Structures are given as C-alpha cells and as structure tokens.
Amino acid sequence: MGYAFDFGALAGYTPVLMKGVGVTCTLIGVGGVAGVALGIACAWVRTQGPRWARLAVVAYIETMRNTPFLIQLFFIFFGLPSLGVQMGEMTAACLAMALNLGAYSAEIVRAGVATTPRGQFEAGASLALTRLQVFRHIVLAPALKRVWPALSSQIVVVMLGSAVCSQIAVEDLSFAANFIQSRNFRAFEVYFVTTAIYLALAIVLRQLLRLAGARLFRSPGS
C-alpha cells in the first residue's frame, strides 16, 4: 500500500473541528433537554390524559419512530417554508432532534410509569391530588430512575444521529469534517479523527448522564 498517512495536515483546521464540536454539543444540549421534556409530557398524556389527546400523541410517536430522521429534518427545514414557516438551520435541527428524541423518550418513560405500583396512584388520589400532581410528585421520579439507563442511551443515539444535520448546512462536526476533506483531500485522516471525536463525545455524554442520574435520583440521606 503506497498511501502515506499525514495527520499533521489537519493541524491547521483545529479551529474548524472545535467549532464543529461546539455546534454538536449545542444541538444535543438543546435538543436533548427539549426532547426529554417533550417525552415526559407525552408519557403523561398517554397514561393519564384524555382519549383525544392520547390518540394525537400516539400518532405523533408512531410517525416519528417509523420515519427516517433525515426525512424529518428535511420536512422541517425544506417542507415547512412552503406553508410559510421559516426557520434557520440551527433552529430546524434542534426542533427535529427534540421531536425525534421526544417520541422515543415518551415510550421509554411510559415503560417506567407502567411499572409503578397501582397503590401509589391510589395513595395520591386519596390525598385529593389531581392526576397531573400524582404523576409529577409521586410517579415521575421513580419511573425516571428505573428507565434512566435506557433514556441515556437514547440521548447518545440522537447525539450521534445529529451528524446528518450537516445536510442542511448546520456547521456541526460532520460538516467540519466534510469541509476539511474537501480542502486537503485527506479523507482517511479526517474521518478517522472525526470518528474518534464522536466516540469521545459519546463516552463523555454517557458518563455525564450517569453522574446526573446518580445525583438526581440519589436516595435521601445518602
């Protein structure tokens, strides 16, 4: 094999890579928080909400879980402007990630809620709490604790999936990689380093979520 490796060719593009990392972190920060919040809301509707709302949430969840994320992104960024809904690429990417994660996290949280003992719902009702108050103050925290590993894994998956956001010119890490490769034509070196960065981001994100879970769901007195 006559290929000569030259990772030094990437040194001058470090600021571009760092900007891409920053944008990717922003995407998962905004999309992750909004997506989990949306998922929790949808989980409540599916378990405690009125029938019409449950049907709407089921339709949303099935649509998002059974269509490609890239098509969802294109629909938001390219399709909605036809209806007069204009938004920038970062806004569209964050919205697409939040809607996608929301659908998956809704089912994950619902699974946690489904394992809640019936007596806890009855105890809340005996205290004259509304369904929403029972869900918020009694059911939600234990349910999240049970499903936190699965929810964390889904957040990491969505972070990795954010790589396609470069298709609408979001200047994330994959956009930076494509830009650098188009300038120096060192495809192996560029995508090897980009892969390593995504791997590092996934590991760091998973550890941060693990630490967050340990802190959020810490037993009283521990």
pLDDT band at 209 (very low <50, low <70, confident <90, very high): very high
Q: Which pLDDT score is estimated for 194?
A: 96
Paired tokens of 172: 């994330």
Of 204, 197, 203, 152, nearest to 21 (Cα)?
197
So where are the chain's domains?
13-215
Q: Which pLDDT score is estimated for 3?
A: 81
H or E stretch including 61?
helix 51-65
Paired tokens of 150: 């699965």
> Are residues 9 and 179 in contact, defined by beta-carbon separation less than 8 angstroms?
no
Paired tokens of 181: 């490769």
Q: What is the CATH number of domain 13-215?
A: 1.10.3720.10
Of 50, 36, 163, nearest to 104 (Cα)?
36
Q: Give the contacts of 29 (CB within 8 A, at least 6 positions apart).
A: none
Tens-digit pLDDT profile for residues 78-128: 999 999 999 999 999 999 999 999 999 999 999 988 887 777 766 777 776
Q: Give the contacts of 20 (CB within 8 A, at least 6 positions apart).
A: 171, 172, 173, 174, 175, 176, 177
Q: Using alpha carbons, list the distances in angstroms from residue 105 to 35, 80, 108, 185.
A: 7, 24, 5, 39
Rg for the chain, CA atoms, rounded:
21
Q: Which pLDDT score is estimated for 218?
A: 76
Q: Which pLDDT score is estimated for 137?
A: 72
Residues 45 and 108: their CA atoms lie apart, in Å, by 14
Q: 3 or 96: whose pLDDT is higher?
A: 96
174-190 average pLDDT score: 93
Q: Which pLDDT score is estimated for 161?
A: 94
Paired tokens of 28: 């998962």
Please give the DSSP secondary-structure letter assigned to residue 85: -
Q: Which pLDDT score is estimated for 127?
A: 72
Q: Which pLDDT score is estimated for 155?
A: 96
Q: Which pLDDT score is estimated for 182?
A: 92
- Residue 221 predicted with pLDDT over 70: no
Highest mean pLDDT among 48-52, 185-189, 206-210: 206-210
pTM of the predicted model as reported, rounded to 2 decimal places: 0.90
- Residue 62 predicted with pLDDT over 80: yes
- Residue 61 predicted with pLDDT over 90: yes
23-33 average pLDDT score: 96
Paired tokens of 4: 């000569």
- Residue 72 predicted with pLDDT over 70: yes
What is the average pLDDT value for the chain, to the nearest integer?
A: 90
Q: Which pLDDT score is estimated for 66?
A: 96
Q: Which pLDDT score is estimated for 114?
A: 83
